[in-house]
Amino acid sequence: MKEKSLTLLALTALVLGVIGCSAPPTPTRVPTPTITLPPLPPTATRVPATPTVPPTLTPLPVSPTPATATPTRTRTPVLATPKPAATSTVARPANPKGSIAYHVNDGGVDRMSVVDVTTGDVRPFVIVGPVMDLTLDSHGTNAHIGEWSTASSSFAYIFTGAPNASNILRIIDPNGSTVDRYSSDTGGGLSSPTWSSDGKRIAFIKMSGNKDNPTWSLIIIPSDGTKCGDQYECYNNISQGEQYRGGVSWGRENLLTISYNTTGAPDVYTIYANGQGVRNLTNNPADDIAPVFSPDGKSIAFTSNREAGQWRIYVMNADGTNVRRLTQGPMDVTPTWSPDGNWIGFASTRSGQFEIWMVDIHGGNLTQITKSGGDHPSWTR
């Protein structure tokens, strides 16, 4: 009996020894907390390098390489979610001054009238005739008809005596005297005259051939009628096909902005007066047309249908950065800057027909200017 007890005692000790020497139990694993990473920042928009301003140029005949023809536009405007219109958080700009010349069909006669933006008084100005290719919906260029020179000392505009007749670049001075500076071929067309900042040159668009196979040229001539060297055109940029889509505007330091389509839809470009330094500022799948420089040359206003296919006014820096929508009407087109750069006039159908409206550069203080129709405005300078 005593041996049995000793044996039992030994077995018990052996079991306890095994338990004591075994590894400690594995602790319960605490779940690692899930870390939510912040979203990656959006891809940075490439800011085009600021173009190097070439030295002052003596206009010489230039024959640049013709641009490659681009087929008729096939791209569909991007249906983007509209951003809210800009909300002004600054004080209202000073009341706008000056007058706006605009196109109106007056009893079957195409003319330019002038409206005082302060009083609203309207007076007839000049008869322009059936100018080329103005309607946007039927794939016209929607180009402007005329522009005031520096200090509004003269007004350059396109005159046509009859349908399909030659277009004439005409200048009228404050006294009402007119002089013709350039004529197109029969069946061709001129549009969008714009003055250099010193008033010594005028740039405009010339269309030759027919609408099925047009040739577009950017022409620059002295405003006093003298010639440039051995040829009348200081610069002649030729392109075949459906290229030009509306408007050319002269800024500072020999820089112009223009809209044409080399990528399937029109974009806004800048180009120097000697034909060098071409830069695409918008590069958007939608249509960007009718660009115009601000008086200080630091901004460009233009028309685009990039949001839900609606034509609206946008503003961006002169290098293509900081694009922002200014209006949100059903069809707002052909912007023009006030002399102080604080307001933009434009044509809009928001009242049922095209009328001239204005808005400040923050998107506020929307005001209707005309009440009897009007389009293609040009604010005095």
Residue written as tokens 């694009």?
Answer: 323
- Residue 3, pLDDT score: 44
Question: What pLDDT is attached to residue 73?
Answer: 45
For 91-112, the pLDDT digits (tens) are 788 999 999 999 998 888 899 9
Q: Do residues 238 and 245 make contact, with C-beta atoms less than 8 angstroms apart?
A: no
Residue ranges and CATH numbers for the domains of the chain are 104-379 (2.120.10.30)
Contact 364, 344 (CB under 8 A): no
The predicted model scores a pTM of 0.76
Phi, psi of 62 (to 5 degrees): -125, 140
Please tell me the predicted confidence (pLDDT) of residue 111.
Answer: 94
What does the pLDDT read at residue 240? Answer: 55
Rounded-to-integer distance, Cα 342 and Cα 107, Å = 34
How far apart are the C-alpha atoms of 223 and 113, rounded to whole Å? Answer: 23
- pLDDT of 77 reads 40
Q: Which residues of the chain have pLDDT under 70?
A: 1-90, 132-141, 187, 210-211, 230-233, 237-243, 263
What percentage of the chain carries pLDDT values higher than 90?
Answer: 48
* 8 Å CB contact between 69 and 241: yes
The helix or strand, by DSSP H or E, that contains position 21, with its residue range, turns out to be helix 2-21
Give the CA distances from residue 20 to residues 24, 25, 94, 336, in Å, rounded to whole numbers and listed in that order: 9, 12, 92, 93
Instruction: Read off φ and ψ for residue 195, nearest 5 degrees.
Output: -95, 145
Q: Within 10 Å of residue 183's Cβ, how many Cβ atoms?
A: 15
Strand partners for 256: 250, 271
Q: How many angstroms separate the CA atoms of 247 and 310, rounded?
A: 19
Measured between alpha carbons, how far is 129 from 334 in angstroms, rounded to an integer?
20
